[in-house]
Structure 1
Amino acid sequence: MTPVRDVAFIGLGIMGTPMAANLVRAGHTVTGYDVVPGAVERLVAAGGHAATSVADAVEGAGVVITMLPNHPQVEEVVLGAGGVLESAKPGTLLADMSTIRPETSLQVAAAAAEKGIRVLDAPVSGGEAGAKQAALSIMVGGEAADFEAAKPLFAALGTTIVHVGPHGAGQVVKAANQLVVGGIYALVSEAIVLMEGSGVDPKTGLDVLAGGLAANRILDLKRESMVARRFEPGFRIDLHHKDMSIAIAAARQADVSLPMTGLVAQLVAAARAMGHGSLDHSALLKVTEQLSGRG
């Protein structure tokens, strides 16, 4: 039986709210904080507890989970005045499940070590649906012993839970995940435009592709909605734009060349510039259509 833990959950957005609720359902005591009061109210409705600040949420917690938009928010919440490192007791386990730059994860881990606080970078893949269904893929960087300590909690949030290496490794794997996802969306978009431009039914064509070597999760989950031009998020273009920037920066840090990633990053940036930032990342199809004069 999984032991009950006192968990502070900071960041109750489109992903954080269902994740925190899943921890409540698993029997944990969850105290949440977000800058948006309504988000905290949703957690309370799901059986969690409300906090009025980061420090209030963290006080007495054995585990702190952060799920924030980008590295500036993580730096503020974790490293800033009244933040996690100032408020948490030694021995606390901090799992940052945000998608951020690997270098920020390394910075957080170093600062936390000085306070006797254990840290994991544990970004996720699976989107809002995966968060709601507790079916996320969780890629974890940090010490193996800390991963084992957190694994029962992660089991309430996801189905694929893997320790991928030391601090920062989780963020590198997440960057790799996002560049692959973006690339597949771009190619599926091109496949749809090619078939439509050739007078071939794209639904039938994609059904065939989904049964062969080209099969992938995006075809499984999104081919019908893409053909129908339904682009409700999901996972927004704005967020994928941020993630592609992380992938490009990580490549520069590693001194490697990722030419396809650069191209996909520009397509995502174009989607955002066209005003599609709030749409699902499958809306890359709109960019491909525009480039072919079909938008």
Structure 2
Amino acid sequence: MKTAVGLVGVGLMGHGIARNVLGRGGFPLTVLDHPGNQPLDDLIAAGARVASSPAALAAASDMIILCVTGSPQVEAVLAGEGGVLEALRPGAVVVDCSTAMPESTQKMAAAVEAAGGRLLDAPMTRTARHAHEGTLNLLVGGDEATLREVRPVLDSFTENVSHVGPVGFGHRMKLLHNYVSIGFMALLAEAAASAELAGVDPAVLVDVLAKGGGAGVALQRMAPSMVAGDAGAVPFTLDNALKDLSYFRAMAEAAGAPHEIVDGVVRALTGAVAAGHGQAYVPDLVRLLKRP
């Protein structure tokens, strides 16, 4: 009998995960009906079932993957009215692929355990394209034996799965990762805006950076926007970037760690979001940071 999988959050990332759980993995899949989903037609045609509530999804699943926005959504799906915890199967595993606050994750892990299940926090890195290709990276916090148990399902949509510590450490590592990644991209956006306003050819700037200390994945992702104004290489909204960096800042502050640099990035993101650009993608900062 193959593991029955439930998936909450069929958005840009979750849709690719669902396709690979069904197609590459061949696992029976139930997805939650939600207005924020991508179209489900291809998943239903491939055999996915649709549940009307998180509780109904939990009742049909041995393993539940969460791919939602952040901690408030995770807590609502798990512990809210009609939530997963109301119908969790004994021994079921919840795999939280969202980006969430570690303290909330630990609280939810205790609630899942009290309901007879287990929780792994397994946030993703890479992009929606990698989700559809089945080459995501996961940063997993939690029990190693539980991770081994669900690894066949995770392998259907990932390239690398790293066990980074106990519950909550997956989300700690993800916040660190996203701070570095988004911070690099924000820095490049400001440099590109400054260069263009100073009359520097953006293509020359990208070439110089690529041959020197600015080379790397962040530059590769930002280059289309820096040179041609094409922000589609990183379909990650400024709303989400601000949420992630706000989570990181809260984690750093709680640990007594410095946060002067992230404060500057958060101010830049807050300004763009407050100006009505929350649904713009991170590479759009090149355009938004220009001054008249």
Question: Which TM-score bucket, shorter chain as reference?
Answer: over 0.9
* Alpha-carbon distance, 1:40 to partner: 6.4
Name the aligned partner's letter for residue 34 of structure 1: D
Could you say if the C-alpha distance between residues 198 and 38 of structure 1 is closer, same or farther in structure 2, counting changes exceeding 3 Å? closer
What amino acid does structure 2 have at the position aligned with 1:160?
N
TM-score normalised by length of structure 1: 0.91
| Gap regions ≥5 residues in structure 2 | none
1:14 maps to which of 9, 12, 15: 12
- Equivalent in the alignment of 2:99: 99
1:212 is matched with which residue?
212
Check the 8 A contact 1:270/1:287 in 2, yes or no.
Answer: no
Could you say which residue in structure 1 is the equivalent of 2:277? 276
User: After the TM superposition, which of the residue ranges 260-269 and 127-136 deviates more from structure 2?
Assistant: 127-136
Change in 2 beyond 3 A, CA 1:46/1:192: farther
Matching residue's letter, 1:9: L
Alpha-carbon distance in 1 for matches of 2:104, 2:219: 33
Q: Corresponding residue for 1:112? A: 112
Residue 9 of structure 1 aligns to a residue whose secondary structure is strand
**What does residue 77 of structure 2 align with?**
77
Distance in 2, Cα, partners of 1:45 & 1:250: 42
Cα RMSD (Å) = 1.9
Write the deviation string for residues 80-138 of structure 1: whole angstroms up to 9, x where unpaired. Answer: 23211221111101101111111110011111111221100111121222222222221
Q: CA deviation at 1:70?
A: 1.9
Contact 1:175 1:243 in 2 (8 A): yes
Alignment of 1:117-156 (within 5 A): 117-156=117-156
Which residue is 1:224 aligned to? 224
Contact residue 121 and residue 168 of structure 2 kept, 8 A: yes
Letter in 1 for 2:250: A
Partner SS state of residue 109, structure 1: helix
Q: Which residue of 1 aligns with 2:157?
A: 157
- The CA distance in 2 between the partners of 1:198 and 1:252, in whole Å, is 36
Shift of 1:269: 0.9
2:245 & 2:37 partners in 1: Cα distance?
Answer: 30
1:31 matched to 2:38? The reply is: no
Alpha-carbon deviation of 1:46?
4.2
Q: Deviations over 1:59-84 (max 9, x none)?
A: 13111111111211111110123211
1:261 is aligned to 2:259: no
* 3-state secondary structure, aligned to 1:140: strand
2:48 aligned partner: 48
8 Å CA contact retained: 2:190, 2:285: no
Q: Count the aligned residue pairs.
A: 289
Query: In 2, Cα distance between the equivalents of 1:133 and 1:276?
Result: 29
CA shift, 1:34, in A, is 3.2
SS in 1 for 2:162: strand
- Cα distance change of structure 1 residues 37 and 247 upon mapping to structure 2, 3 Å threshold: closer
Q: What is the percent sequence identity of the aligned residues?
A: 33
* CA–CA separation in structure 2 for the residues paired with 1:260 and 1:4: 47
Within 2, Cα distance between the matches of 1:285 and 1:37? 28
- Matched AA of 1:275: G
Q: Which moved more, 1:72-81 or 1:29-38?
A: 29-38
Once residues 69 and 38 of structure 1 are traced to their aligned partners in structure 2, the CA distance between those partners, rounded to angstroms, is 12
Other structure's SS at 1:234 match: coil
* Alignment CA distance shift 1:229-1:39 (3 Å): closer
1:34–1:40 Cα contact (<8 Å) kept = no
1:216-240 CA-partner distances (Å, limit 9, x unpaired): 1121233023322223460111111
SS where residue 164 of structure 2 aligns? Answer: strand
Q: Secondary structure at the match of 2:12?
A: coil
TM-score (norm 2): 0.92
**Is the CA contact (8 Å cut-off) linking 2:197 and 2:290 kept in structure 1?**
no
Please state whether the residue corresponding to 1:204 is helix, strand or coil.
helix
